[in-house]
Amino acid sequence: MTVMPTLTLNDGNTIPQLGFGIWHVPPATTSDTVKSALGLGYRLVDGAFYYSNETEMGEGLRASGVSRDEVFLTSKIWNGDHGAEKARASVERSLKSIGVDTLDLVLIHWPVPSRFLYVETWQALVDMRQAGLTRSIGVSNFNADHLERIIAETGVVPALNQIEVNPTLQQPELRAANEKHGILTQSWTPLGNGRSFDAEPITAAAARAGKSPAQVILRWHLQLGNAVITRSENPARQAENLDVFDFALSDSEMAEIATLDLGLRTGPDPSVFRML
């Protein structure tokens, strides 16, 4: 079984560098999917209320036979639950749905700046951490200005910012802003829906290392120092995504992949996205 490397967050807690996400996994298959992933060696499961499968996420954890203490569980506060009271109710609902007493990480899913509530929501997360509902707190899809504001107004720095990063959307400026504050970057949709699988720097590195394009891209994330969230319902693909710790990309291969950045998103622009 893979020995999963961990990264240390700015609050002193540790997080598995490579995790497993359940976005778009149907509730009917979520339990078996989580059980499979944990059986292969994943030790981080990334969920969210909005995914509508947190109950099944908890079922998969229990069915796996892996101790709760060995698994890092993430949930997120959805856009319609911003504000102190709604945010706390959201986290308590997730705890009940998953069937655990404490989460390892809770994120604000999107800043939704048009609602002017993300600072209040962040302060609510600070209070929930102090109350023991979660061990670490962070954000997702926050731009540099959103980060600056919550830090300035609460004095508390997020442990992690989960953002879209892949070879065609590398976000170097935002990753640098995270690093400036000691915030870990965690990549979602790390493969970019396969848009760069045929790019020459990827195929060349894959041929040289005897790996797939997906494995090369995941290795690229790891060598950038990012934490990464993968997703697949296929056990063979889950295993392939996990098999990225026995090779390394050269400096020249990393530099070549850096040239693939086109600023192309697969998801919404956080500065305007507000779906409730």
**Element (H or E) spanning 113, and its range?**
none
Q: Cβ atoms within 10 A of the Cβ of 59, count?
A: 19
Task: List the beta strands (DSSP E) in 82-180.
Answer: 103-108, 134-140, 160-164
Rounded Cα gap, residues 248 and 250, in angstroms: 6
C-alpha neighbours within 13 Å on the C-beta side of residue 112:
20
Cα separation, 75 vs 87, whole angstroms: 12
Q: Could you say which of 42, 50, 51, 118 is catalytic? A: 51
Scan for tokens 């796996």, then name that residue.
Answer: 64
Active site residue 51: yes
Structure tokens at 194: 């396969």
Pairing of strands 103-108, 134-140: parallel
Identify the bridge partners of residue 22 per DSSP, sorted by sequence position.
none
According to the 3-state scheme, what is the secondary structure of 183-206? CEEEEECCCHHHCCCCCHHHHHHH
Q: Give dist(CA 195, CA 168) in Å, integer.
A: 8
Query: In sequence order, which residues have a C-beta less than 8 Å from that of residue 217 and are 6 or more positions away?
Result: 166, 167, 190, 191, 192, 196, 197, 202, 257
The residues that are catalytic are 51
